[in-house]
Chains A and B, each alone.
Chain A
Amino acid sequence: GIQVEQSPPDLILQEGANSTLRCNFSDSVNNLQWFHQNPWGQLINLFYIPSGTKQNGRLSATTVATERYSLLYISSSQTTDSGVYFCAALLYGNNRLAFGKGNQVVVIP
């Protein structure tokens, strides 16, 4: 099946700093989603982005499908941005999301 790798695995940020999280995937995808998992375990949808660029407030994401990677940008980070960010990909003709191991982000005040 498809392999999804996220980097860096752990990131500590000072409040106000910017950061970039990367997701590499091993095959062509029909769907690419970014999630934020809150401390209670809930996965919050951030972006549905099989290709192109999207922005939502201080977050933006870019997927370059032909090069099999996606980036999540966090600007002017806040302590509420802390948590685990997951990238998940769906192969063409498939229905199971394949998740990476996540990026653990800690934003310190």
Chain B
Amino acid sequence: DTGVSQDPRHKITKRGQNVTFRCDPISEHNRLYWYRQTLGQGPEFLTYFQNEAQLEKSRLLSDRFSAERPKGSFSTLEIQRTEQGDSAMYLCASSYSGAAGRGYNEQFFGPGTRLTVL
């Protein structure tokens, strides 16, 4: 079990540029989540996938944001025309939604991608 991985770990970009982040979940996990965390706050939900289907999106996810999970494995989060307000830590998590029981839907987080928009 190698855990959830994210790439890159840090990204500095200029306002107006597009950025893309990648998340690789724990291999047997069928659910994948994206959260955003700003300084001094807890993470906030952005979106989640069950296998390749994007089943829920937060209103925080403006039309400049798009997420994909094409084959039900890794996921990408793209931000178009970045703004300074997009500066944050972007966290990916995964879980297994198998039979209910111990640890059902327990979410495990990756190390995050810290985005700075200049």
Contacts and interface: CB of A to CB of B under 8 A. Distances in A.
A is bound by B: yes
Interface of A: 4, 30-31, 33, 35, 40-43, 45, 48, 86, 88, 90, 95-102
A31 B89 CA distance: 24
Given A43-B91, A95-B48, A96-B33, A33 B43 contact: no
A60 B106 CA distance: 18
A76 B103 CA distance: 27
Contact of B106 (A31, A86, A96, A100): A31
Interface stretch (B70-78, B79-87, B108-116): B108-116
B2 interface: no
A45 B107 CA distance: 8
Contact of B42 (A30, A40, A45, A86): A86
A30 B105 contact: yes
Nearest to B113: A41
B109 to A, nearest CB: 4
A96 B56 contact: yes
A95 B104 contact: no
B48 A96 contact: yes
A42 to B, nearest CB: 5
A43 B109 contact: yes
B31 interface: yes
A46 B18 CA distance: 35
A48 B103 contact: yes
A90 B89 CA distance: 21
